[in-house]
Amino acid sequence: MKITLIACFLLCQAVAACAQPKPAWSVDTPKGKFECVEQSANSANLKMRLGNAVVYEGRFLGLSSYDGELKNGMPSSDVGCPTLVSASATYLIVARDLLPPSFGVTSYAIIDLTGDAPEWEELVSGQRPSDEKVSSAARAKWDKAGLSFSYFGYPAGDPGGDVKSAKPHQHLVRYDFDSGKIRQVN
């Protein structure tokens, strides 16, 4: 009986530990830890938190809710946490599929943590498999004025993935911190 109770106790502890959502990634920022946590299918699909505040909560089956904390919002596509591509002290570059993975289109976005609330802005769309060949060192180059972002895909503003899209090529865009503008360099 004692062994059974101990085994049950240990099993319950293991199940409880597994049930706790773990961050897919987290980054320390001047405003606290910014993290993306994938939830179980029974609750929200993912949560993004800055410090203790939930700034985005994506619901299962593509429904989403915003508590007014994440400006511009993140398109909900039911693919879990975006991948963290690069980070500076107050800006993050993330990537995720907004179309079925078979399309091979990766959407890149920049998250600006400088304002009162984090702001999500779509950056560009890359096209796999060629986009995966861009090295991490060449992908994002930060400086005091902004970001230079190299990718293989579609011109800024073209989401890609349909017959009307431009043919994908190697591109470079510049994101200016002061204006928040994206400029196609090539």
- pLDDT for 101 equals 81
pLDDT band at 8 (very low <50, low <70, confident <90, very high): very low
In this prediction, residue 5 has a pLDDT band, given cuts at 50, 70 and 90, of: very low
**Structural domains counted in the chain:** 1
Please report the pLDDT score of residue 130 as a whole number.
Answer: 94
The predicted pLDDT at position 63 comes to 43
Q: Give per-residue pLDDT as tens, 18-32.
A: 445 567 889 999 889
pLDDT over 60 (residue 116)? yes
Domain coverage including residue 160: 23-184
Identify the residue with better confidence: 71 or 108: 108
Question: Are 69 and 57 in contact, with CB atoms under 8 Å apart?
Answer: no
The model's pLDDT over 54-79, given as tens digits with 9 standing for 90+, comes to 887 765 444 444 443 455 555 555 56
Domain contains 29: yes
Mean pLDDT across the stretch 171-179? Answer: 95
The pLDDT value recorded for residue 163 is 87
pTM above 0.95? no
Residue 12 falls inside a structural domain: no
- pLDDT at residue number 69: 46
Which pLDDT score, from 0 to 100, does residue 171 have?
96
Confirm whether 4 is domain-assigned: no
Q: Which of 90-94, 115-119, 150-154 has the lowest mean pLDDT?
A: 115-119
Q: Is residue 14 part of a domain?
A: no
Q: Is residue 13 part of a domain?
A: no
Q: Is residue 6 part of a domain?
A: no
Tell me, yes or no, whether 9 lies in a domain.
no
Q: Please indicate, yes or no, if residue 11 is contained in any of the structural domains.
A: no
